[in-house]
Amino acid sequence: MKLVCTQENFKKAISIVDKITSKQITLPILKNILLETKDGRLIFSATNLEIGIISKIGAKIEQEGKIAVPSKLISDFIINLPKEENIEIELKGHILNINCGKYKAKINCLDSEDFPIIPERKGENQFTITNNKFKDVINKSLSSVSLNDIRVEFTGINLSFFDNKIYFAATDSFRLSEYEVEIAENDIYKEIKDTSVIIPAETLRELNKILHNATEDDEVLVTIENNQIFFDVNDIKIVSRLINGKYPPYKQIIPSEFKSEILINKGELLQSIKIASVFTKKTDGEINIVIENDQNLVVKSSLQESGENQTELNINKKGENQNFVLNPRYLLDGLNVMDSFMIKIMVNDNVSPIVLKIVDEKNEKTVDNFIYIIMPIRK
């Protein structure tokens, strides 16, 4: 292997794949990045056996080759280099020689044959979604994912297909989010219609980092096959195992009608919940929301050893008065991902699911492609 590439591109590719290299002592090869040349490209590959990432950059290649390079070592070296135009790389045996201006390094490497094979996508069970839309889906969904792996299916986001719509759902059994994406009918391959898969949350966190470095209009190609999911965006590919398990029929708990609908300023509600949280337990706190007329909502909280708090907010209510108790953290998580000035809270009683929706500022109508649901605390 002998090549020249820009320092900027090399540094960017290393930073993309380095994050998922494994810390497993039992499999030292997983601490390495596979460097490989092919078709005028330098290819960086890393895997932890659950997720694989491949990034490609352009290079002037004089001699083909491939080698497994210690990830932390080469990453730390490249990141700390001063800015130069190019990096020269030459492989001699199992020693990788790197020259960048006045700085030189020789890195001991491992045989590339020991590096796990990262699967390639072959089928056509795929659809495309814009980068901007996918980032929004991920950001709004991740907060509802369970951090407890007792029910492994709750540690991922459920992806289901119906007609020309894709539904992304996440829950930890205390709250639920659903994001609906409509795409062109011919973009969904017929074999994945009316099916569902569960994507690990960690996979989407890694994908989200990559999407934030892409342009808003870039398209993400998503392919599903052999219990794996592939994401292609520009010269970067992520492949991940899917979670084995059956997602609960969550749509059954979403109410179709409500006894009360409350239009409220999101920023004011967010601030009142943060203040109320000061007077609650840090882990399993409770806040009381009381609506006794059409114009006002009261947020209450108390803690025996600290004191109590009460905030009154202006609202526009239709329907019955309400009184319910919520975990403030779940409410804050939902409000933080709702990018609107106003929101609508829809309630039936103090034991049924409470639904939050974004409101379009122009016409005060709800935006129905995203819902956030919280289960109240029964008293």
Query: Of the candidates 234, 250, 266, which is a domain's last residue?
Result: 250
Structural domain tally of the chain?
A: 3
pLDDT digits (tens, 9 = 90+) for 232-253: 999 999 999 999 999 999 999 9
Domain span holding position 277: 257-374
The predicted model scores a pTM of 0.92
134 falls within a domain: yes
Per-residue pLDDT averaged across 164-172, rounded?
Answer: 94
Residue 135 sits in the same domain as residue 244: yes
Per-residue pLDDT averaged across 11-26, rounded?
Answer: 86
Residues β-bridged to residue 261: 318, 346
Q: What is the CATH number of the domain that holds 170?
A: 3.10.150.10
The band of 186, judged by pLDDT with boundaries at 50, 70 and 90, is low
3-state secondary structure the chain: CEEEEEHHHHHHHHHHHHCCCCCCCCCHHHHEEEEEEECCEEEEEEECCCEEEEEEEECEEEECCEEEEEHHHHHHHHHCCCCCCEEEEEEECCEEEEEECCEEEEEECECHHHCCCCCCCCCCCEEEEEHHHHHHHHHHHHHHCCCCCCCHHHHEEEEEEECCEEEEEEECCCEEEEEEEECCHHHCCHHHCCCEEEEEHHHHHHHHHHHCCCCCCCEEEEEEECCEEEEEECCEEEEEECCCCCCCCHHHHCCCCCCEEEEEEHHHHHHHHHHHHCCCCCCCCCEEEEECCCCEEEEEEEECCCEEEEEEEEEEEEECCEEEEECHHHHHHHHHCCCCCEEEEEECCCCCCEEEEEECCCCCCEEEEEEEEECCCCC
Question: Quick check: 257 pLDDT over 90?
Answer: yes
Residue 361, pLDDT score? 86
pLDDT digits (tens, 9 = 90+) for 106-115: 999 999 999 9
The band of 22, judged by pLDDT with boundaries at 50, 70 and 90, is confident
pLDDT digits (tens, 9 = 90+) for 314-357: 999 999 999 999 999 999 999 999 999 999 999 999 999 999 99
Question: Quick check: 172 pLDDT over 80?
Answer: yes
Residue 191, pLDDT score? 64
Query: Of the candidates 206, 233, 250, which is a domain's last residue?
Result: 250
Query: Of the candidates 196, 216, 250, which is a domain's last residue?
Result: 250
Question: Quick check: 84 pLDDT over 90?
Answer: no
Per-residue pLDDT averaged across 115-141, rounded?
Answer: 92
